[in-house]
Chain A
């Protein structure tokens, strides 16, 4: 029997799930983001304490100094659940694929001036290890954070950073220079100018407060590094030699522009929650900025030479402006 079900008009018994109706204050349709996120993490009746940290519950709001009445206030303005996230990244990777193919087909890498290439690779390639650290640190937030709103966004950010590390690796491969990747790794491990930065990201790997870690890694460090390198240094290469690196780092630029909106919104909501939160956040940003700036000075010097100081100052100003917009005075 073939039934034409489209023609049936029936009134639903309810518009959404109970927990969403209570949250919205009315029984009305909820977005897929809401359905995929809100109130889903268990909060009570845990069977056992973690053998690895018995002082905490499996999910425990006291793993950070930040206090929220409702952890689901930390919504993602991009409304990323897995489907929307992966579709957005799918589109970005398609563009990146086209860029890498074009560079390859037109032989743009081979045609790039040697001096420019060496300079660019000496700055970009060690950053694959910084992205790798960020992958691990965002992984910590997704593991031990509280509430699915923040843990899913951190999980996506962690995978994004793995993607960034891999795109930087491909940038090296686009120049068909595996030696450059090896010497960049050597610079990361032993080169004097990279040690302060490596020291800082390794220190972050043992930070226990997940919210502090997120502020240090995603807001402060990435907030300085991405504008400094993927905007300003890239501009400089474009002006001096030509726009090939613009194509090979497009993903990072686009990603940072988008992810910064998420970070800014998280800070704004957390700061608005209480004066205590605001003070904690301001304290963190000040401390972390000092470490991050010190770590980035030698990198900025490789990238910009004499103008390193002013370029870095601009990036710091940009970061301060974002903090101020989030309601955090430094």
Chain B
């Protein structure tokens, strides 16, 4: 673990009941860094995020955030110490307004609620356009931005994002990814991004982990992973140039 590491996971073994999905996965993330996790379906990407946020508890391994071991803590405690999580699709409360959705993201942190709402509005200015709209009536891209805003309400140091581009148009994906990059580089928030849309995710990432069958297969800086012919062939759909940014 280096001094700049904000989040470090080592040797994570986890799954659902008897079914083990993660077989000793490791990951590290520095402040203000975007790290993408890619891999084929079923390789454990979403399970990794659920383990990091505390929805699933690992049977082995260790998770350290800001120097504190959080492996055995509950989700609420992890949110309080600086983890934020946006689950995959259907991640907003459809009958609530944008503002109400954001308020749901508050955890017991000191500070004025109005100030916090305004701070999130500054980070994601487009929220103002549909502030009082019911989330269920928003487009997929707008819903993702609302979900991002809700996660930001707790002032996280690290954001865990599970396929934020799922079901989005290319234009909406670009907008959401633009926000993610800005949150990271301007706000200093570390981002772990699980994505199927690897080309676009790698374009905004600093580093990348490639998973296969619940294990680390490759890791490195995003550009070298994107240029790796094996990764390109297996995970990035080499030849599908139309999808490249």
A and B from one complex: no
- A interface vs B, CB < 8 Å? none
- B interface vs A, CB < 8 Å? none
